[in-house]
Amino acid sequence: MKKCLVVALCVLLIVSACGKKEEQKPEASDGTRRLNIVTTTGMIADVVKNIGGDFVNVTALMGPGVDPHLYKATEGDMRRMADADIIFYNGLHLEGAMGQVLEKLKEREQAFAVTDKIDRTLLNRPPGFEGTFDPHVWFDVRMWSMTAEYVRDVMIDFDKVHAVQFGENAQTYVDSLHELHSYVYELAKSVPPAQRALITAHDAFGYFGKAYGFEVRGLQGISTASEAGTADVQELVQFIVDRRIAAIFVESSVSPKTIEAVQAAVAARGFDVKIGGQLFSDAMGKAGTEEGTYIGMVRHNIHTIVNALLGGRMAQPI
């Protein structure tokens, strides 16, 4: 009987969760039809929402905790993308398992990679990632603000009636991103340079390291599709012990097992490295939480990193 009740409650929860998604209204408050926009990641959906406001319906295919490197489009996703006015994706092979689908949609001039207009000289070309660029551009807040400018231009092409509003909203958003960049930069400086090392499950933080002065090591490489070898683990363990790094970090979209294994291997060498907390790397947090927005996610990450590397002695966040 109890089991039935639990099942019934779960069904109810699922139905109400689906219901929430369908709440999107086709018309904006001024009576015009809302642009129907589909994005791959939550970070891109956040940009679109900030620029589009009331004049767009936005659906992110990849929710909290979803790994974009491995995500495969479902039948429902294919339908949503076919029905969309615009599809925004990250590009630079972030969505590795959706590559062909997105290429086809791009040919039909329906899909746009938000990283397309970033100057290629700003991008990292990491070794071992099939000769392409590092796709994790959202970790350099200034670079992410460039994607917002491109998203604005595409949206204006599809909806000229709201060009002024999109322009104003984009400016407000870009201004707040520039503020965020300075905030992260200043906070990062509070960690002594020798301690500014960021160790995570996969190599997502290359741009973060470059922008904010951290040495970055990821166990799994740029894509989670690659696996860490024993030699990689041993090298990382040696680095942590030699540099007496206070903390290493798990990621919300990657299994914590590999990082826990590193911690155990470090302990076997007689050094205690803490798990400094969970970082939101390739996916944002749940909707309605601070980490469920791009700005909140970035703030959470820098607070977690600085606090852990300073052994819990970070001054109160501003």
d(CA 50, CA 71): 25
Q: What angle do CA 27, 29, 31 make, to 5 degrees?
A: 55
Gyration radius from the chain CA atoms: 21
Complex with Zn ion: residue 159 or 291, whichever CB lies closer: 291
CB of 263 to Zn ion, least distance (A): 21
Which tokens is 189 given?
A: 């400086």
For Zn ion, what does the binding mask look like between residues 201 and 220, x meaning CB under 5 A? ---x----------------
Are β-strands 215-218 and 111-113 bridged in parallel, bridged antiparallel, or unpaired?
unpaired
CB of 278 to Zn ion, least distance (A): 15
Size of the site for Zn ion (CB under 5 A): 2
Complex with Zn ion: residue 90 or 293, whichever CB lies closer: 90
Complex with Zn ion: residue 159 or 251, whichever CB lies closer: 251
Given the rule CB under 5 A, which of 157-165, 186-194, 235-243, 279-287 is the region that contacts Zn ion? 279-287
Complex with Zn ion: residue 34 or 136, whichever CB lies closer: 136
Given the rule CB under 5 A, which of 110-118, 164-172, 271-279, 280-288 is the region that contacts Zn ion? 280-288
CB of 136 to Zn ion, least distance (A): 6
> For residues 227-256, which are near Zn ion according to CB under 5 A?
none
CB of 255 to Zn ion, least distance (A): 13
For Zn ion, what does the binding mask look like between residues 75 and 94, x meaning CB under 5 A? --------------------
Complex with Zn ion: residue 88 or 173, whichever CB lies closer: 88
d(CA 15, CA 13): 5
Question: Do 239 and 300 touch, CB atoms closer than 8 A?
Answer: no
Complex with Zn ion: residue 72 or 189, whichever CB lies closer: 72
- 3-state secondary structure labels for all residues of 5-56: HHHHHHHHHHHHHHHHHCCCCCECCCCCECEEEEECCHHHHHHHHHHHHHHE
> For residues 10-29, which are near Zn ion according to CB under 5 A?
none
Complex with Zn ion: residue 232 or 282, whichever CB lies closer: 282
CB of 222 to Zn ion, least distance (A): 7
How buried is 9 (Cβ within 10 angstroms: 0-12 exposed, 13-18 middle, 19+ buried)? exposed
Complex with Zn ion: residue 12 or 225, whichever CB lies closer: 225
CB of 202 to Zn ion, least distance (A): 5
- Ramachandran angles phi, psi of 316, nearest 5°: -55, 135
> For residues 282-301, which are near Zn ion according to CB under 5 A?
282
- 3-state secondary structure labels for all residues of 210-272: HHHCCEEEECCCCCCCCCCCHHHHHHHHHHHHHHCCCEEEEECCCCCHHHHHHHHHHHHCCCC
d(CA 284, CA 209): 19
CB of 135 to Zn ion, least distance (A): 7
Given the rule CB under 5 A, which of 73-81, 113-121, 266-274, 277-285 is the region that contacts Zn ion? 277-285
- Helices and strands of the chain, counted as H and E runs: 10, 8
Complex with Zn ion: residue 132 or 172, whichever CB lies closer: 132
Given the rule CB under 5 A, which of 1-9, 50-58, 77-85, 199-207 is the region that contacts Zn ion? 199-207
Q: Which residues are within 8 A (CB) of 214 and not within 5 positions of it... i.e. 6 or more apart?
A: 188, 196, 197, 198, 205, 208, 305
* Interaction site with Zn ion (CB under 5 A): 204, 282
